[in-house]
Amino acid sequence: MSTFKAPKGTYDLLPPNSASYLAVREAIAAPLRNSGYGYIETPGFENVELFARGVGESTDIVTKEMYAFETKGGDRLALRPEGTASVLRAALEANLHKGGNLPVKLWYSGSYYRYERPQKGRYRHFSQVGAEAIGAEDPALDAELIILADQAYRSLGLRDFRILLNSLGDKTCRPVYRAALQEFLRGLELDEDTRRRIDINPLRVLDDKRESVQEQLIGAPMLRDYLCEECKAYHEQVRELLTAAGVAFEDDPKLVRGLDYYTRTTFEFVHDGLGSQSAVGGGGRYDGLSEMIGGPELPSVGWALGVDRTVLALEAEGITLDIPAATAVYAVPLGEEARRVLFGTVTELRRAGVATDFAYGGKGLKNAMKSANRSGARLALVAGERDLGEGVVQVKDLESGEQTPVAVDAVVEEVRRRLG
Which residues define the annotated binding site for L-histidine? 82-84, 114, 128, 132, 257, 261-262
CB-CB contact of 256 with 266 (8 Å): yes
**Burial level of 276, CB count in 10 A (0-12/13-18/19+)?**
exposed
Nearest CA to 329 out of 364, 366, 373 is that of 373
CA atoms within 13 A on the CB side of 156: 32
Contacts 24+ apart (CB under 8 A), 171-174: 171/263, 171/288, 172/228, 172/230, 172/231, 173/226, 173/227, 173/228, 173/231, 174/223, 174/226, 174/263
What is the spatial distance between Cα 415 and Cα 127, in angstroms, rounded to a whole number?
38
268: CB partners within 8 A, 6+ apart: 163, 164, 252, 255, 257, 279, 281, 282
Q: 3-class DSSP state for residue 26?
A: helix
- The H or E element spanning position 69 is strand 68-70
For the chain, what percentages of helix, strand and coil (3-state, to nearest 5) are there?
A: 40, 20, 40
DSSP states of 222-246 as a string? PGGGT--HHHHHHHHHHHHHHHHTT
For 96, list phi and psi in degrees, rounded to 5.
Answer: -60, -30
Task: Identify the three-state secondary structure at position 98.
Answer: helix
Distance CA 385, CA 38 (A): 54
Binding site, by residue number, is 82-84, 114, 128, 132, 257, 261-262
Spell 110-126 as b/e; 16+ CB within 10 A means b: bebbbebeeeebbbbbb
